[in-house]
Amino acid sequence: MAADIFTLGIDVGSTTSKCLILGNGEEIISSAIIPAGTGTSGPGRALEAALSEAMLSRQDIAAVTATGYGRNSFEGADYIVSELSCHAIGAHAMFPDAKTVIDIGGQDAKAISIENGKLGSFVMNDKCAAGTGRFLDVMARVLELDVSELAEKDAMAGRVIPISSTCTVFAESEVISQLSKNVDICDLVAGIHASVAVRTASLVRRLGLTPPLAMTGGVAQNAGIVRALSKELGEEISVSPLCQLAGAYGAAIHGFNKLKGRK
Of the candidate residues 23, 25, 131, 218, the single one contacting ligand ADP (CB under 6 A): 218
Residue 67 found at the interface with ligand ADP (CB under 6 A):
no
Of the candidate residues 137, 154, 174, 232, the single one contacting ligand ADP (CB under 6 A): 137
Report which DSSP code applies to 25: T
Q: How far is the CB of 3 from ligand ADP (least distance, A)?
A: 26
Q: How far is the CB of 222 from ligand ADP (least distance, A)?
A: 4
Select from 9-17, 24-32, 55-63, 172-180 the region that touches ligand ADP (CB under 6 A): 9-17
Q: Residue type at 176?
A: I
Pick 43 or 255: Cβ nearer ligand ADP: 43
Of the candidate residues 7, 14, 85, 240, the single one contacting ligand ADP (CB under 6 A): 14
The sheet carrying 118-125 orders its strands as: 118-125, 109-115, 100-104, 213-216, 237-239
Partners of 124 in beta bridges: 110
The b/e string for 54-76 (b: 16+ C-beta within 10 A; e otherwise) is bebeeeebebbbbbbbbbeebee
Of the candidate residues 21, 63, 244, 253, the single one contacting ligand ADP (CB under 6 A): 244
The DSSP line for 86-112 is HHHHHHHHH-TT--EEEEE-SS-EEEE
Decide: 61 and 21 in contact? Cβ < 8 Å: yes
Pick 113 or 222: Cβ nearer ligand ADP: 222
Residues 16-35 that bind ligand ADP (CB under 6 A): 16
The burial of 47, by beta-carbon neighbours within 10 Å (0-12 exposed, 13-18 middle, 19 or more buried), is given as: buried
Residues 157-216 that bind ligand ADP (CB under 6 A): none
φ/ψ (deg, to 5) at 238: -85, 140
Residue 73 found at the interface with ligand ADP (CB under 6 A):
no
- Give how many residues touch ligand ADP by CB under 6 A: 21
Q: How far is the CB of 16 from ligand ADP (least distance, A)?
A: 4
Pick 23 or 220: Cβ nearer ligand ADP: 220
Residue 42 found at the interface with ligand ADP (CB under 6 A):
no
Select from 12-20, 47-55, 230-238, 250-258 the region that touches ligand ADP (CB under 6 A): 12-20
Strands 213-216 and 100-104: parallel
Sign of CA dihedral 247, 47, 71, 106: positive
Binding residues vs ligand ADP (CB under 6 A): 13-16, 37, 68-69, 105-107, 133, 136-137, 147-148, 217-219, 221-222, 244
